[in-house]
Amino acid sequence: AKAPILPYRVGHGFDLHRLAEGYKLIIGGIDIPHTKGCEAHSDGDVLLHTVTDAILGALCLPDIGQLFPDTDPKWKGARSDIFLKEAVRLMDEKGYVLGNLDCTIIAQKPKLSPHKENIRNNLSALLSADPSVVNIKAKTHEKVDSIGEERSIGCHAVVMLIRKDL
């Protein structure tokens, strides 16, 4: 027999951007003072891209790069909250609300703990969710590989969505 379709959906997101001088570092919609920022076609917000993909993944929809191709001049320098808001709109349209979200940002530098509450509050607002269901963690990469050598920043996230009519 076929297994029942549960009223919960889990989604996973991952993203990584190269760090370079001459770019602003924007994480979760917050400007973080740093000597380098994320290279990207959009504003390079590695956290918002990761969360967008986690939500799209939970819904079995095409990923962020398919919905917003970086070959499209329309998205050049775009604020990444546009991408997240579209994922949230699709989540609502498909009949789901955010259960909870857990994110890990991997950056050798800068120290993100002073910005975590700002990021969490801004991200919760973008998700129309209570901050109590949104968690942000930060890790270094122990100075090894591209992240540890401060050449990139990575991010992982998992979400659980719950059917609205549950």
Binding-residue total with ligand CDP (CB under 6 A): 7
Residue nearest to Zn ion (CB): 49
The SS3 of residue 118 is helix
Tell me phi and psi for residue 97, to 5 degrees: -120, 160
Binding to Zn ion by residue 15, rule CB under 5 A?
A: yes
> Which does residue 49 touch among ligand CDP, Zn ion, none (CB within 5 to 8 A, set by kind)?
Zn ion
**Selected binder of ligand CDP within 113, 143, 149, 151 (CB under 6 A):** 113
Binding to ligand CDP by residue 32, rule CB under 6 A?
A: no
- What's the token pair of residue 99? 């259960």
> Where does this chain touch ligand CDP (CB under 6 A) — which range of 24-32, 40-48, 67-75, 137-145?
137-145
What's the burial of 76, exposed, middle or buried (CB within 10 Å: 0-12/13-18/19+)?
exposed
Residues of span 37-76 touching Zn ion by CB under 5 A: 49
> Which does residue 107 touch among Zn ion, ligand CDP, none (CB within 5 to 8 A, set by kind)?
ligand CDP
Report the distance separating Cα 115 and Cα 112, nearest Å. Answer: 5
**Selected binder of ligand CDP within 140, 146, 150, 163 (CB under 6 A):** 140
> Which does residue 59 touch among Zn ion, ligand CDP, none (CB within 5 to 8 A, set by kind)?
none
Tell me phi and psi for residue 75, to 5 degrees: -100, 5
The SS3 of residue 157 is strand
Q: Which amino acid is at 122?
A: N
Binding to ligand CDP by residue 155, rule CB under 6 A?
A: no
- Supply the DSSP symbol for 41: S
